[in-house]
Chains A and B, each alone.
Chain A
């Protein structure tokens, strides 16, 4: 249990998706103009990460990895399908995003109105595929750790996008040199935020 909490905290602060790995930068830059919309996108990302990463973990462990097919018959133990993981992961993500969208549309129209426009965007958000690939590379021991990791990464991403949105709302009233306005200053501020987050590197978990 302690291990799971460690991974959870670590993936929020130390291995933050945006500040340490730059994943999901495209939507981070495009949708961070107001706090309200960025909150919506952030929650949608947490939601989708929490579903797709554990699912991909199961698929990886029971279908794709070397020796993973041994549960069907020992003869299949030598098969290694891991080269298929990219295409399987992205297919799972695209399908799950579609499913989640339909499910929310049926069950909660209010939530759908808030998240609706962001959900299709998420299928091609690199944070989602990136989390699945990190999960594969870091070889977590059990599904609990994977859930901790996916929830932590999602919340870390949410934290980053809401933070930059709040700063950008204030920036609108400041005098910035014309060439730096918009994109340029957003990059530089993200860099400064990343330096602030580097202070968490010292934490030993």
Chain B
């Protein structure tokens, strides 16, 4: 083992970010980010699933027949998701209710399947583990950013605590309730992509 390959963790954070560059796992990123807390819990669950599924698939990659690899991947991912779902239901029931079907949808989250297909199937377990961590965190960064922006401007709170002082409201400041509606999530992701590509010209499409 020739040391840790830091590129595998660093790249997904910016120039190979799973959401804004690889366009994987958009569905859940938009739906759960109206508040910070569910966004954070969701990000954590996805990190767990992507790391362990990458590790497991990479360990058994040489024994999986290529024709049925999708089914094998789906089975392993769904087992991990069932575990995560049961743990969430047991320890943070309120958040699990808020996330509703989106915990189950981690199974078909393209990040998990995408990384398994693109990386874990042809790389060593330790590298796959790092790749999983990197992509999971890259996903988490976007989710938490969206969660912070939408909760702060949409309901004036963070993690459920009031952040915007009452005097602001007295002066006529109002929460932008469009922020917690679905369309604003799409527009915000569009803006994040815009900012990122404006700063890194290599990513622009022709």
Contact = CB atoms under 8 A, between A and B. Distances in A.
Contact of B23 (A85, A120, A183): A183
B163 interface: no
Interface stretch (B5-13, B56-64, B74-82, B125-133): B74-82
Say what secondary structure dominates the interface of chain A: helix
A41 to B, nearest CB: 15
Given A30-B23, A129-B108, A86 B78 contact: yes
A129 B105 contact: yes
A29 interface: yes
A90 B194 contact: no
A116 to B, nearest CB: 16
A197 to B, nearest CB: 8
B105 A90 contact: no
A106 B30 CA distance: 39
A177 B193 CA distance: 12
Contact of A192 (B182, B183, B193): B183
Contact of B101 (A29, A125, A137, A177): A137
A120 B68 CA distance: 12
Interface stretch (A2-10, A18-26, A46-54, A146-154): A18-26
A94 interface: yes
A198 B183 contact: yes
Contact of A20 (B25, B104, B182, B193): B182
B86 A83 contact: yes
B178 to A, nearest CB: 8
Interface in B11-44: 20, 23-28, 30-31
Nearest to A135: B101
Contacts of A74: none
Contact of A187 (B82, B107, B110, B186): B186
A90 B185 contact: no
A86 B85 contact: yes
Nearest to A87: B78
Contacts of A187: 186-187, 189-190, 193
A127 to B, nearest CB: 8
Interface in A103-138: 120, 123-126, 128-130, 133-134, 137
Given A87-B78, A129-B104, A191 B71 contact: no
Interface string B65-100: 000001100110011011001100000000000001
B101 A130 contact: yes
Interface of A: 19-26, 29-30, 83-87, 89-91, 94, 120, 123-126, 128-130, 133-134, 137, 177-188, 190-192, 194-195, 198
Interface of B: 20, 23-28, 30-31, 70-71, 74-75, 78-79, 81-82, 85-86, 100-101, 104-105, 107-110, 113, 181-187, 189-191, 193-198, 201, 203-206
9 contacts: A20-B182, A23-B27, A26-B26, A29-B26, A86-B78, A91-B74, A126-B105, A134-B101, A187-B193
